[in-house]
């Protein structure tokens, strides 16, 4: 059996054609309808000259139409590239120049201004405008499988996930059909022992992010519905829980904070049987609050990346025994820490059949990330004697102060609960005496006063050695984080401080 992405929906449609495959804003599509629509879209794309191996850049607002575009490309053998529709014209132009797609699909009638330099354009969801009308072409296309579908191999490229490299330039992780299938398969995805209940999966990620497509595929691998939202705010998520009664929800910590806000304490979330979180290290107090809010659910902490998929998992039965851990290596990969030996901090590395094939058109970056076929994550951590992984930070984010190394993540965890503070990040600031000093960047609650450095140091004194304790405190209106995963963007914090007189030397 070939592990082709287009086959997942086809086989489910054969068994349960009237079962719901996806919902969004009250609209729904069944597996049978999605199967036929995917074939029509594949044939329409072929009519526009798209062939196996070609890249199709797809940039639209959240819509069910994106699902058959994704599947249509998979059945045609084209490489689907989801692009953030909020990109500026300059950013979109840089992405298209990097991708060199055969076709650019957008729901803006003329496409983002200034981005079409030589790239054929097709529009969806718009009745008039430039380019080809993909909706009209799809409606007239055949619902049979596209020519050549039987010649596809599961090692063929399936999708490119765009990430921002350290330089800020586009960088695309190329993932094969086989790797995508294994990442989301039962045993390899979030719900290792299957999804409890029949309500489907509520997806909190946008569909231009790996997390979005992972949960689409994981729902379909479990032959259940995926429930999409226009945005991952508390109101939208609670509304879907109320109307669709999903069984499972994974949110990054920042999104869980929105759901657990006291403002929403009366919202009925009892349909959820899985209340999962992760991406990186998760504060133990957040896990405690999730468990108190949803006592009938299980919680799994997941650690993974766009490049490797799921890398480790801490299951519900281990939460109390292994606080601070992100779990043990996850199937089907193998994970280790480069330093070797229990308790020694080093770079986390992983290998296995779910890894990306490489970065599109970036051989130097690919060689650096995948030396000898193993993915170097850039994350630092250590393994205990039982093989549970504990993350300590990013290799390039470690603070070097007075000859000692300090993990920002460890200091951030210790700072949680500081009175009057609603968010926190930690960075290293240049210092003539120490090389760098630990700086606590705080977001204050309305009306709260900024704490003195001594008060901050007293708060963490019982948990951190003296050299790890903050020597500077600054206040910002907000902590910049990545939109989809909520990870702290420390370089942007430093840039913000440079723009505030006297905040950064």
SS (H, E, C) 342-379: CCCCEEEEEECCCCCCEECCCHHHHHHHCHHHCEEEEE
The tokens for 406 are 């300090």
Indicate whether 477 belongs to any domain.
yes
pLDDT for residue 411 is more than 70: yes
* DSSP secondary structure string for all residues of 404-431: EEE-HHHHHHHHTT-TTEEEEEEEEEEE
209 shares a domain with 146: no
Q: What is the 3-state composition of the chain as percent helix, strand, coil, each rounded to the nearest 5?
A: 30, 25, 45
Among 265, 280, 299, residue at a domain's last position: 299
Q: pTM here?
A: 0.85
Indicate whether 340 belongs to any domain.
no
Cis peptide before 332 (omega within 30 of 0): yes
113 shares a domain with 50: yes
What CATH number is attached to the domain comprising 473? 3.30.300.30
Among 152, 172, 202, residue at a domain's last position: 152
213 shares a domain with 137: no
pLDDT of residue 117: 64
pLDDT tens sequence across 98-137 = 999 999 999 987 665 545 568 999 999 976 778 899 999 9
Indicate whether 365 belongs to any domain.
no
Indicate whether 390 belongs to any domain.
no
**What length does the chain have?**
505
Contacts of 335 (CB under 8 A, 6+ apart): 311, 312, 329, 348, 349, 350, 389
Mean pLDDT, residues 213-241 taken together? 96
Among 249, 280, 299, residue at a domain's last position: 299
Domains in the chain: how many in total?
3
pLDDT of residue 481: 87
C-alpha span between 424 and 420 (Å, rounded): 11
The answer to whether 104 and 116 are in contact (CB under 8 A) is yes
pLDDT for residue 168 is more than 80: no
DSSP reduced 3-state for 174? strand
In the chain, the percentage of residues whose pLDDT exceeds 90 is 70
pLDDT of residue 501: 46
In the chain, the percentage of residues whose pLDDT exceeds 70 is 95
Banded model confidence at residue 91, pLDDT cuts 50, 70, 90: confident
How many CA atoms, within 13 angstroms, populate the side-chain half-sphere of residue 74? 30
**Among 35-44, 186-195, 222-231, 470-479, which is the least confidently predicted range?**
186-195
Across the chain, mean pLDDT equals 91
Domain that residue 453 falls in: 401-498
The two most distant CA atoms of the chain are separated, in Å, by 72
């Amino acid at each position: 059996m070939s592990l082709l992405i287009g086959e997942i929906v086809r086989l489910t449609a054969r068994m349960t054609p009237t079962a719901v495959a996806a919902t969004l804003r009250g609209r729904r599509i069944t597996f049978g309808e999605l199967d036929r629509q995917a074939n029509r879209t594949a044939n329409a794309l072929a009519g526009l000259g798209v062939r196996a191996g070609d890249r199709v850049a797809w940039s639209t607002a959240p819509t069910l139409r994106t699902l058959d575009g994704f599947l249509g490309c998979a059945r045609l053998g084209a490489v689907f590239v989801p692009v953030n529709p909020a990109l500026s014209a300059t950013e979109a132009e840089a992405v298209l120049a990097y991708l060199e797609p055969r076709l650019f699909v957008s729901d803006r009638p003329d496409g983002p201004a200034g981005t079409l330099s030589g790239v054929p354009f097709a529009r969806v969801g718009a009745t008039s405008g430039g380019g080809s009308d993909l909706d009209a072409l799809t409606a007239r296309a055949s619902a049979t499988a596209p020519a050549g579908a039987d010649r596809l191999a599961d090692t063929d490229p399936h999708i490119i996930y765009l990430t921002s490299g350290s330089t800020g330039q586009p960088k695309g992780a190329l993932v094969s059909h086989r790797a995508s299938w294994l990442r989301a398969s039962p045993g390899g995805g979030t719900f290792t022992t299957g999804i409890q209940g029949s309500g489907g999966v509520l997806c909190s990620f946008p569909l231009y992010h790996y997390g979005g497509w992972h949960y689409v595929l994981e729902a379909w691998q479990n032959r259940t519905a995926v429930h999409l939202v226009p945005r991952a705010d508390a109101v939208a998520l609670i509304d879907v829980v109320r109307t669709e009664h999903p069984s499972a929800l994974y949110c990054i910590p920042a999104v869980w904070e929105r759901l657990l806000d006291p403002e929403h304490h009366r919202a009925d979330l009892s349909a959820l049987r899985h209340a999962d979180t992760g991406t990186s290290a998760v504060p133990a107090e957040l896990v405690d609050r999730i468990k108190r809010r949803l006592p009938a659910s299980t919680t799994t902490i997941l650690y993974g990346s766009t490049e490797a998929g799921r890398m480790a998992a801490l299951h519900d039965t281990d939460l109390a025994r292994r606080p601070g851990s992100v779990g043990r290596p996850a199937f089907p990969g193998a994970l280790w820490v480069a330093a070797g030996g229990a308790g020694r901090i080093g770079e986390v590395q992983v290998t296995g059949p779910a890894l990306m094939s490489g970065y599109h058109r970036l051989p130097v970056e690919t060689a650096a990330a995948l030396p000898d076929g193993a993915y170097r994550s850039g994350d630092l951590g250590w393994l205990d004697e039982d093989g549970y992984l504990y993350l300590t930070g990013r290799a390039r984010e470690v603070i070097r102060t007075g000859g000692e190394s300090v993990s920002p993540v460890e200091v951030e965890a210790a700072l949680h609960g500081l009175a009057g503070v609603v968010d926190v990040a930690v960075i290293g600031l240049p210092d003539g005496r120490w090389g760098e000093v630990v700086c606590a960047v705080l977001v204050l609650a309305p009306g709260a006063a900024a704490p003195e450095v001594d008060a901050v140091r007293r708060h963490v004194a019982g948990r951190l050695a003296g050299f790890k304790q903050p020597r500077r405190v600054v206040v910002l209106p907000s902590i910049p984080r990545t939109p989809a995963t909520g990870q702290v963007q420390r370089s942007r914090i430093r840039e913000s401080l440079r723009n505030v007189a006297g905040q950064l030397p």
